[in-house]
Amino acid sequence: MSTATAHGERSGIFTPFNLIAGVILVGGAIILTIRFTTGLASTTNLSNTNPWGLWIGFDVMAGVALAAGGFVISSAVFLFGMKEYRPIVRPALLTGFLGYSLVVLGLLADLGRPWRLPYPFIKQAGPTSPLFEVSLCVALYLTVLFIETTPAVFEWLGLKIWRRLVGQLTIALTIFGVILSTMHQSTLGAMYMVTPTKLHPLWYSSQIPVQFFISAVAAGISMIIVEGWISHRAFHDQVQTSNDQFRDINFGLAKGAAVVLGTYFAVKLVALSLENEWRLLATGWGAWYLIELMGFVVLPCLLFTVAYREQRLGLVRLAAAMTVAGVVLNRFNVTFIAFNWKVPHSMRYAPAWTEVWVTVSLITLAVVVFRWIAHRMPIMYEHPDYPALH
């Protein structure tokens, strides 16, 4: 049995990739079935002391940050006129849309009772709560990303009128997306401002909303570099940009990422200074904090800088991978590693293997869907019938 793709490529269903992805997804579906029928206790190590774990720390907190590339690139191209980044707008928006979809799925796995998802909007709004702001912005931004992704779908289906209609909404949607992203990326950090006694003082700061927003921009840019690196190899038969153009795009992103990471480092130092927490750097927690700050912020910033100066693409990719890992580590620290840092070791949280499996399943699901869409729709290339609209 075989499947046809937009480029006439035919591949069997029982490929190693599909088999491995299938096993992961079936395992994830079984665990989620157990979770929804018997509750969190049977599938997670969560407790009243540690109510937020891997599903919130990775799927929501890190997921939202890593999906920030969509609004960063679309605003660069459509608002700031950086047309040279146009070839990566669609992959970035699709990555953003799938990333936010996974955020919602991960959140549902954690919260349960999915039929209550619209409750904040129709039944019990809490407009003074950061959680309400996050849920409203994520719901609206997911809708914006969905609409921003539809031009590729309409071109694929040949719906020219609809394609022209959504094309006219581009600027408005981009502006709306930037506003919503700025709001909820920072508010995810603002949620921790009610936890001064639980979050370790090195991570707790009145500046945490700003830190979350800036680190999300760095994560978004880095994720685009990593995603472009992988998809450039996986979809090399579709990519229309020349190697030189692709290199220039990566070096431009590296320059931006270096400046953003430098700014993030400065904001972290200012937060340390304002809270006067320097003495804590000499403790064990301080060593862990310095590993995150120096190893996954300062080092990739320097690597991006050197890579841009010396035009070394391999170094750009290494720095991007380190930045992605660093932002994930930061969200893990804030959500469960440096959270509840005073409780006895026996009461501390470590994710169950079932939690890890579900998270891996969600990532796999995103990769499978991205692959399916990119093999069929004009994501990596310009549709020949719509050259003027790109």
Partner 1 sequence: MYHTLFDFLTHTEGATYILIGVLLIGFIGFWRFLTERERGV
Q: Give the interface with partner 1 as residue ranges (CB under 8 A).
A: 255, 258-259, 262, 266, 269-270, 273-276, 305, 308-309, 311
End-to-end CA separation in angstroms for the chain: 35
3-state secondary structure string across 14-64: CCHHHHHHHHHHHHHHHHHHHHHHHCCCCCCCCCCCCCCCHHHHHHHHHHH
CB of 2 to partner 1, least distance (A): 49
Nearest distance from residue 270's CB to partner 1, in Å? 6
Q: For residue 9, list its beta bridge partners.
A: none
Residues 6+ apart with CB under 8 A from 8: none
Residue 301 Cβ, how far from partner 1 at the closest point, in Å?
9
Q: What minimum distance in Å lies between the beta carbon of 66 and partner 1?
A: 24
Q: Which is nearer to partner 1, 206 or 243 (CB)?
A: 206
Q: How far, in Å, CA of 61 to CA of 131, rounded? A: 13
The CA distance from 187 to 259, in Å, is 23
75 CB-contact burial (10 Å; exposed 0-12 / middle 13-18 / buried 19+): middle
Residue 197 CB, nearest distance to partner 1 (Å)? 19
Nearest alpha-carbon partner for 96 in 75, 81, 80: 75
Angle at the Cα of 131 from the Cα atoms of 94 and 125, rounded to 5 degrees:
110
Q: Give Cβ neighbours of residue 242 (< 8 Å, ≥ 6 apart).
A: none
Q: Which is nearer to partner 1, 272 or 358 (CB)?
A: 272
Name the DSSP letter for residue 350: -
Which of residues 243 and 273 has its CB atom nearest to partner 1 in the complex?
A: 273
Residue with tokens 């990471």: 261
Rounded CA gap, 313 and 302, in Å? 14
- Cα–Cα distance for residue pair 184/179, rounded to 1 Å: 9
What's the closest the beta carbon of residue 130 comes to partner 1, in angstroms?
25
Residue 298 CB, nearest distance to partner 1 (Å)?
11
Closest CB to partner 1 among residues 142, 272: 272
> Cβ closer to partner 1: 219 or 272?
272
Is 276 or 346 the residue whose CB approaches partner 1 more closely?
276
Query: What's the Cα-to-Cα distance from 367 to each of 21, 51, 148, 230, 246, rounded to whole Å?
Result: 9, 28, 19, 11, 22
> Which residue type sits at 203?
W
The tokens describing 169, both together, are 């909404």
Q: Which is nearer to partner 1, 270 or 352 (CB)?
A: 270
Residues 6+ apart with CB under 8 A from 346: none
In the complex, the smallest distance separating the C-beta of residue 250 from partner 1, rounded to whole angstroms, is 15
Q: Shortest approach of partner 1 to residue 178 CB, angstroms?
A: 24
Single-letter residue type at 256: G
Rounded CA separation 338/340 (Å): 6
Distance of closest approach, residue 267 Cβ to partner 1, in angstroms: 9
